[in-house]
Amino acid sequence: MMIEISSLLAKSGILASDHTSVVSMNLFVALLCACIVIGHLLEESRWMNESITALAIGLCTGVVILLTSGWKSSHLLVFSEDLFFIYLLPPIIFNAGFQVKKKQFFRNFMTIMMFGAVGTLISFIIVSLGAMHFFKKMNIGTLTIGDYLAIGAIFSATDSVCTLQVLNQDETPLLYSLVFGEGVVNDATSVVLFNAIQSFDLSHLNSGVALQLVGNFMYLFISSTVLGVLAGLLSAYIIKKLYFGRLVYKLNADELSLCFLFMKLDGDYINFYLNYGHSTDREVALMMLMAYLSYMLAELFYLSAILTVFFCGIVMSHYTWHNVTESSRVTTKHAFATLSFVAEIFIFLYVGMDALDIEKWRVVSDSPGKSAVVSSILLGLILLGRAAFVFPLSFLSNLTKKSPYDKVDLKQQVTVWWAGLMRGAVSMALAYNQV
């Protein structure tokens, strides 16, 4: 009977499809391993890191797949918006909040919020209006007002990961905190803007709709932040009350070894020794699940999950992390960093292969001149949009700073401006959503 079912499934192509998926996943995991190994070997190079290595390997893999598939596809896996937003993005954003140097971040909090929120709105307006002005003259197709606003939101989402790879957090703490903080808040703001645009009928745009859009944006921004803070505080309260590692401080390692040597341990301490690893597992598991729950709750209530999980990470690192055992602190720090690292490599590897998507190049080949002009216009608008807020807002920020070390000098302003020119995974996911 089993043989007949298997043969039937094989004839219908189901088993073949499953086998193809397994082969693709094996190859993709092998490529992830190759990215890590080669990135480690090139660690001393100033111009190469794991992210750039993943992009390069993705490009090379895309070429090989194109050749072997007869110029039909360059992908091992099909991009899924759910895969990105539900599985890959949460560990990256949470780890960003969890590992942030809070002293520098909150010391420059107002400047970061100005760059990440107000600056993104300025860039969004300039890109949207500029695209509307130029693209209508070029007659590139029937684009609605919603499409132009979506273009503004998509191209306002920066990707500062590559810039952070060449900045040292200890040597340039102010610059690092500005680029890092702006990048995270900018991603959250762009997603909030995009979701706000999608939820409104923009066919008849007027002052009332514009005010509703601004009000919805403020509601999403504040509600998402509050939800993340509450989730972080709740995790700290639960772990403190349950206190999984309550016997940790009874004995240190040397005393524990000595007690075992002289057989002086009573039942409680023997039980503690045997179950100490289990308390660490529970603490780490609870922190991970609470962080992920905050992200999914934000998605459930149509809030900005990026902003929620980012502030959840900050609160957890400040409160929850200090209520767990020493072993759990080490474990959580490395576990979150590892998950974030693998997710980033996964995204960069896919982006490298996606750059050779044959369908996209066919569209470009139909009108290469027009495509080059559109790309140039968008690049110019992005440059203008960032310049329109980085330099004026830096000037305003410097007026409120008394110490010269807290002021953003011209070189740092240029770095912040240039750091936001790259577009990464969030822009790609939003573009897939719109198309």
d(CA 402, CA 69): 62
pLDDT, position 9: 36
The sign one gets for the Cα dihedral 245, 246, 247, 250 is positive
Provide the pLDDT for residue 5. Answer: 37
pLDDT at residue 434, as a whole number: 66
Per-residue pLDDT of the chain (435 residues; tens, 9 = 90+): 334 434 433 444 444 457 777 888 888 899 999 988 888 888 766 667 677 788 889 888 888 888 887 777 767 777 677 777 888 889 988 988 888 777 788 888 899 989 988 999 999 999 999 999 898 888 777 788 888 888 998 888 887 666 666 677 777 888 888 888 888 788 878 888 887 787 776 666 677 777 877 788 788 888 999 999 999 999 999 988 876 655 444 445 555 454 444 444 444 444 444 444 457 788 889 999 999 999 999 989 888 888 899 899 999 998 998 888 888 888 999 999 999 889 888 888 888 887 777 777 777 666 777 888 888 999 999 999 999 999 999 999 999 888 888 888 999 899 889 888 777 667 777 777 766
Token pair of 327, please? 């072993």
Q: Which residue has the tokens 């932040």?
A: 225
Question: Is the separation of the CB atoms in 140 and 210 below 8 Å?
Answer: no
Listed residue (36, 42, 170) closest to 101, CA to CA: 170
The full DSSP string for 239-272 is: HHHH-TTTTGGG--HHHHHHHHHHT---HHHHHH
- Amino acid 267: pLDDT: 45
What does the pLDDT read at residue 164?
67
Question: What pTM value is reported for the model?
Answer: 0.77
What's residue 380's pLDDT? 93
**Which pLDDT belongs to residue 13?**
47
Q: Which amino acid is residue 252, in one-letter code?
A: N
- Model pLDDT, residue 11: 45
* Inter-residue long-range contacts of 42-45, CB under 8 Å, 24+ positions, other chains counted: none
pLDDT, residue 145, reads 84
371, 116 contact by CB (below 8 A): no
What was the pLDDT predicted at 295? 93
Residue type, 97: G
